[in-house]
Amino acid sequence: MKKIGIGALIICFVLVVSGFILNSSINSKINAKIDELNKNGFYVTYEKDSKFLTTKGKGKIEISYPSKAIEYLISKKDDGALKKELEEFLKIIPSETKYDLMEGLTFEYDFSLCNINSKLDLNLYLVSLSNRSKYDFLTKYSYGYAPQNFEKLLQNRELKININEEGKFKINDFSFVSTSGILILRGINGDKSKLNIPFMKFELANYDMGYLDNRFLIENTTFSYNENKNNKRDSKLDIGNFIYEGLNEEFNIKNLKLSSNFAVNNNDLKGETKISFDEFNSKYFEYSYTSEDKDKTKKDFITVKNSSLVFEYDKLPYEKYKEFSKSFALGYENFLSKQKDFLEALSKSNLILKISADSENLIYENNNWYKKLKVNSDFELSKNLSSMKFDNLNDVFNVLKIDIEVDSLSAQKALENSNEDIKSKVKFIDSANKDFKLLKLELKADGIYINDVLSITKDKLKFPKNSFDDAYAPNSYLDDTNISHTYEMIDKNTLRVNFKYKTSLDSLSSGGIAVSFPQLVDDKSIKAKTSKNFAKLDVYKKGDTMFSGLLNKNVVAEYLMIEGFDENWTDTTIEKEFSLDIDVSNMNDFLEINLRGYSTAADKVNYELLPTQDYSSTQDQQSYYIKIADIDLQTLKKNK
């Protein structure tokens, strides 16, 4: 009995010592992690409450340096193609945007950790938006209820995320009501590769009429993403039920699925994207009015079932595709340059494109169009895409072949209901499947052939003037011809950038060009400043004082600005110009550049600021709207 008692004491002693060691080890790891976060863009407080077998704690996490915090979070993600693309994408987002969205964003947290099996119960509560968001709420949105209601959500800690030791998470159900509408989210959960949203409903307000007239209900949404060691990537989006109801129409999509998979092999991108649904139903509303009331009648519009569309591609030049995709955020000149490079690469790539589709039971306004439809197509792009001359379809495609199979009964009915012109040009032929009829469309030099008969001549395949360019070009500054920049690498470490501005005023007294660099604090990297027709170039380093005419006060520079100003510029035909040679040996990604031009009329009352607020949404440190003139250094250096 005595031995048993001694044994029990020893076991208790071992447990106490082990608990102490575990507590000490866990607290040491927690403190180390907090120290790591504080050194990487966060400000973290921590109050611990350690027990014998459990460690508890609470505190706050605030984002104090957004760029460092983002870089840190991405560094913790597993290595792979997605991580690299995130890193590249974040580098082209202006620093001001990151600070506006994230600086001051604050979470409160509490956790419970089992010292024996490392079971974690972590809760994060969003309690404060970014400083800029709070400022905007106070100064821009004080007339509405949205800020107050959202503040209540934050104060009540209703925006809560629960995370366990495996990285699985759950987000609290919540609803948000404002003058803009109603948002309800329920049951959100997921893990590192999957997100589930069982219920999402939002209704949008009509400000003019004062009621909710756009309703969306989205049920059983699942998104997943996976990437293997060979960089093959798969993503899937499934929506069990999608319902929309507007003022004049409604539609419902059942079992909507979108999947995509692709992989890169020797700079060739190969992949497939598929979209499908079980059923699509749409209706439109007819209203009848009486002296006292308004009645709504629903009318069937379109119904179609079991439909899918598959897009397959191979030998897509991946690097040029990435450069082209990034160019949208780097200014219009950069976009035009990368567009030409991408189209030239496509022309030489032997790109393979295939599109196929299946569909059943299309009913349009109570008329049955077909019971079954199948489409298969092959495309080969023109070898002259980079010429950017798109007059007709032949300038886009060298090969275009489309096979359309329709169930025999529907094919016969379609021809019977067609006019004589269509009947004379379109003749179905037998398909390999006896239940279907076939139309074979092929683009040739003189037009489109249907079942080997020329049916649409080349002159009818012309694009309306400028339609292709207008559809393809991004939103651009209308004043691009007035303010612009060009650039080139003059050696492996030196970038030369040339800036030009021409006023559109009828008379002039003065004007200039201002160029700023959010990544630079001084002009140590500027190897040469060359002015074509400015008397001098002024340099403002971080900490220097400069005047803002918009604010009508002095401001302290946050980053480097170089300005050319002419107080005696009177000739409206002269284009002002200067260039900078920049040492980019220590810059490997993007050089951020803010560009603007300005001029004052002879009456010293009228003036011009370019770009205008209508065509730019980004402001510099003096609150002037600027043209983003960022430069992709990585690509430039690679091609040098």
Say which CATH number the domain at 535 has: 2.60.40
Predicted confidence at residue 147, as pLDDT, reads 54
CB neighbour list of residue 487: distance below 8 Å, 6 or more residues apart: 495, 496, 497, 498, 631, 636
CA distance linking residue 302 with residue 287, whole number of Å: 19
Instruction: Give Cβ neighbours of residue 435 (< 8 Å, ≥ 6 apart).
Output: 372, 407, 408
Q: In 214-331, where does DSSP find H-type helix?
A: 318-327
Q: For residues 577 and 186, what is the distance between their CA atoms, to the nearest angstrom?
A: 58
Q: Which residue has the tokens 């990151």?
A: 98
* Buried-exposed string 439-450: b where 16+ CB fall within 10 A, e elsewhere: bbbbbeeebbbb
SS3 605: coil
pLDDT at 478: 44
Q: Is residue 625 part of a domain?
A: yes
Tell whether 123 is covered by a domain.
yes
Count other Cβ atoms within 10 Å, centred on residue 357: 17
pLDDT given at position 206:
67
Residue closest to 596 by CA, chosen among 478, 507, 499, 495: 499
Residue 327 located in a structural domain: no
CA–CA gap between residue 399 and residue 351 (Å, rounded): 11
Beta bridge partners of 546: 555
> What is the largest distance, in Å, between two alpha-carbon atoms of the chain?
111
3-class SS of residue 572: coil
Domain boundary among 141, 172, 203: 172
Which of 172, 199, 225 marks a domain boundary? 172
Short-list 81, 88, 70, CA closest to 634: 88
Q: Assess if residue 367 is contained within a domain.
A: no
Round to whole Å and give the CA distance between 367 and 553.
69
CA-nearest of 172, 204, 169, 168 to 185 is: 172
Residue 563: inside a domain, yes or no?
yes
Task: Give the angle 221-222-224 at the CA atoms, nearest 5°.
Answer: 155
Cβ-proximal residues to 252 (8 Å cutoff; 6+ apart), any chain? 241, 242, 243, 244, 279, 280, 281, 282
Which residues fall within 8 angstroms of residue 219, CB to CB, at 6 or more apart?
198, 199, 200, 239, 240, 241, 242
Check if the beta carbon of residue 244 is closer than 8 Å to that of residue 257: no
Q: What angle do CA 208, 214, 218 make, to 5 degrees?
A: 155
Q: Residue 39 contacts by C-beta under 8 Å, 6 or more apart in sequence?
A: none
Give me the helices (H) in 426-520, please: 467-472
CA atoms lying within 13 Å on the CB side of residue 4: 1
Q: Is residue 406 part of a domain?
A: no
Peptide linkage before 611 cis (omega within 30 of 0)? yes
Distances from the Cα of 152 to the Cα of 159, 173, 191, 202, angstroms: 10, 15, 28, 19
What would the two tokens of residue 141 be?
A: 């949105």
Query: Is the peptide bond prior to 66 cis by the omega test (within 30 degrees of 0)?
Result: no
Q: What are the tokens at 157? A: 């800690």
Q: Domain containing 625: what range?
A: 483-639
The answer for residues whose C-beta is within 8 angstroms of residue 413's C-beta and 6 or more apart is 368
The answer to whether 238 and 222 have CB atoms below 8 angstroms apart is yes
Retrieve residue 132's tokens.
Answer: 């800029």
Query: Does residue 73 belong to any structural domain of this protein?
Result: yes
HSE at residue 397, side-chain half, CA atoms within 13 A, is 21
Paired sense of beta strands 268-289 and 294-317, if any: antiparallel
Report which secondary-structure segment, H or E, holds 377. Answer: strand 367-381
Instruction: Report the C-alpha gap between 254 and 241 in whole angstroms.
Output: 5
> Residue written as tokens 């398909």?
431
C-alpha distances (whole Å) from 555 to each of 37, 529, 559 are 32, 24, 12
- Going by C-beta distance under 8 Å and a sequence separation of 6 or more, which residues neighbour residue 19? 52, 53, 115
Count of CB atoms situated within 10 Å of the CB of 110? 15
SS3 2: helix
Q: What domain count does the chain have?
A: 2
Neighbours of 504 (CB within 10 A): 11
Q: Residues 405, 437: contact at Cβ < 8 Å?
A: yes
Give first-to-last CA distance, the chain, whole Å.
Answer: 86
- Measured at the alpha carbon of residue 613, what is the angle toward residues 534 and 329, in degrees to the nearest 5? 85
215, β-bridge pairs: 203, 245
Among candidate residues 179, 149, 163, the one with its CA nearest the CA of residue 113? 163
Hey, CA dihedral for 73, 79, 81, 82, is it positive or negative? negative
Q: Which residues, 6+ apart, have CB-to-CB distance to 387 below 8 Å?
A: none
Residue 91 is predicted with a pLDDT of 72
In a domain, 226, yes or no: no
Look at residues 565, 551, 558, 555 and name the one whose alpha carbon lies nearest to residue 517: 558
- Domain end: 172, 192, 224, which one? 172
Q: CB of 236 within 8 A of CB of 223?
A: yes
pLDDT, averaged per 10 consecutive residues of the chain (640 residues), comes to: 44 41 65 88 86 82 88 80 74 76 88 82 89 72 54 85 90 83 91 92 71 87 87 91 91 96 88 96 80 72 96 90 75 69 84 94 91 94 75 86 93 79 78 90 91 86 56 43 86 91 91 94 93 90 90 90 93 93 86 92 88 81 89 76
